[in-house]
Amino acid sequence: MRRKMSVVLAAMMALTLCLSGCGGKSQEATTAPEPAQEQQEQEQKEQVPAEESQDPEGKTAVLVVSFGTSYNDSRDITIGAIEEAIAKAHPEYEVRRAFTAQIIIDKLKERDGLEIDNVTQALDRAVADGVEKLIVQPTHLMDGFEYNDLMNELESYKSDFKSISVGRPLLTSNEDFQGVIAAVTNATKEYDDGETAIVFMGHGTEAASNEVYGIMQTKLKEAGFENYYVGTVEAEPTLEDVITALKEKGTYKKVVLEPLMVVAGDHANNDMAGEEDSWKTALEAENFEVECVIQGLGEMEDIQKIYVEHVDRAVEKLEQSADTAILVVSFGTSFNNSRDITIGAIENEIADAFPQYPVRRAFTSQIIIDKLAERDGLEIDNVTQALDRAVADGIRTLIVQPTHMMSGYEYTDLSNELAEYESDFEKIVLGEPLLTTEEDFQAVATALENATKEFDDGETAIVFMGHGTEADSNQIYSQMQETATEKGLENYYIGTVEAEPTLEDVMAALKEKGSYKKVVLEPLMVVAGDHANNDMAGDDEDSWKNMLEAEGYEVTCRLTGLGEMADIRRIYVDHTRAAIDSL
């Protein structure tokens, strides 16, 4: 029955991709056929000396999953190059290929006689070949519809393997964004002369993960790459948004176009660089001189290295303890990519610090859990579900690390629920929230200073917006203010949305100082979610941004969650380590 469902799932995936327009024009492409698959496999075998293999029986394999492309040459130097880099880094494992686009798979078979598995076929083949441990590395850019479909299909094969470990998409953690920015700016730095705009064209998606492009743009600007712009073909930011930004700058004579896609395929050759109704012709119509660079991200060695690093982490997970796990509990957020680079980054940091233990996720907000399930088809456990699942999976020792800021209502609720499960585990331990000890306050103050010291010029107030609570633990905000002041951070201020100190308290303190012309706003929250985007940086009259602008300040909003800061993540790792040590 499961096999039939898998076939149906694959068919539905192909239909969805067809309807979305992905791979549509690529059916018109005609390029020389790829070398025979047997020859490629022989070349791979020759590159791996038998004496180096740590898996002589072939019981472990790496499956690299890509959307695919019918552009043979581009496939070889992008997807093929990523696969080759992974094979070189892990010669002890066989590296296999699967594509998700059935349209492309069928075209390659008909046009070139080239057989490539879809995901179902690749998984069935691995089972038939006796693979026991499977590492799956997607070349997807983000955690979107395709990635979720892949995860759902892998779930149905869990009983067929001793273990399945899945690598992360390209843009998952804050380090991933920084790595990709370094790669694309290094590859195009020759053009960055002040009179040239370097514009990257992404695909875009209707999924909430489309936020990745906005995050990429923000981080480029924060890193000082003022002449770099990101747009998408099928979502936002649009080409029109990019053209507006270029005109606002007003100094550009030339535009360099390059795809922000793993493969330089149909979209790059036609939508970006084509001679009709393309980004190139639209920009030329605006009197820009346009140069197109047909280069997929997969061609860049620095990008290949990121995928290899993701495989490395997936490999580490294969040998994890079977009866001990770490459960990371967060409030949650419906802002997908903020989640990935904050909560996800904390989880990843903990996983990297303790590779012997699987790291699981739970959210406390049922509203957010339900929204993600309905909107994105993303299933996330609440605490009860996560605990029941751990019991059912035979976990005997459970380390629970909350990402809560303080020991407030939520932390107390979590502690009470864990107490009800004490008899279900041999050992269960709860780690401390972010701000617990004096050392925590000092460390957080240092992290905030390091993240914003470029703005501390004496004429700028750096204001952090916390959530606030009616619980006694709300005092952490005033304690954080005292800690910052004692450290000499005289231009740093802390307020809350729903408690004290209020925005009015903060504005009174700014006026009392009397020397500020600018205000930088940043959330004092793990995730830059709804409060950061709306209450802090929103367009409504009562947002902190507009209230401060009404007082005559020039305001800059930084949508950076605490979870993006390496110094903050280290505190959570330290608290997890302390919990483990207490067992």
Whether 467 sits among the annotated catalytic residues: the reply is: yes
User: For residues 551, 557, 559 and 564, what is the CA-based torsion angle, rounded to 10 degrees?
Assistant: -110
Sign of CA dihedral 22, 28, 32, 34: positive
Tell me the one-letter amino acid at 415.
Answer: S
> 203, 267, 310, 467: which one is catalytic?
467
Integer angstrom CA distances of residue 110 from 70, 76, 195, 202, 251:
11, 19, 47, 29, 49
Phi, psi of 145, deg, nearest 5? -60, -45
Token pair listed for 315: 């490999």
Token pair listed for 223: 């890193």
Tell me the one-letter amino acid at 326.
Answer: I
What's the maximum distance between 2 C-alpha atoms anywhere in the chain?
Answer: 76
100 and 149 in contact (C-beta within 8 Å)?
Answer: yes
Token pair listed for 442: 């000092």
What DSSP letter does each residue of 273-312 carry, written as one string?
Answer: T-SSSSHHHHHHHTT-EEEE----GGG-HHHHHHHHHHHH
Can you give 39-102 as a three-state secondary structure string? Answer: HHHHHHHHHCCHHHCCCCCCCEEEEEEECCCCCHHHHHHCHHHHHHHHHHHCCCCEEEEEECCH
How buried is 557 (Cβ within 10 angstroms: 0-12 exposed, 13-18 middle, 19+ buried)? buried
Nearest CA to 9 out of 139, 107, 108, 148 is that of 148
- Preceding omega of 33 cis (within 30 degrees of 0): no
558 and 413 in contact (C-beta within 8 Å)?
Answer: no
Task: Count the Cβ atoms, other than its own, within 10 Å of residue 34.
Answer: 18
Question: In the chain, what are the helix, strand and coil shares in percent, each to the nearest 5?
Answer: 50, 15, 35
User: For residues 501, 506, 508 and 511, what is the CA-based torsion angle, rounded to 10 degrees?
Assistant: 160
Terminal C-alpha separation, the chain: 43
Report which DSSP code applies to 318: T
Active centre residues (catalytic): 467
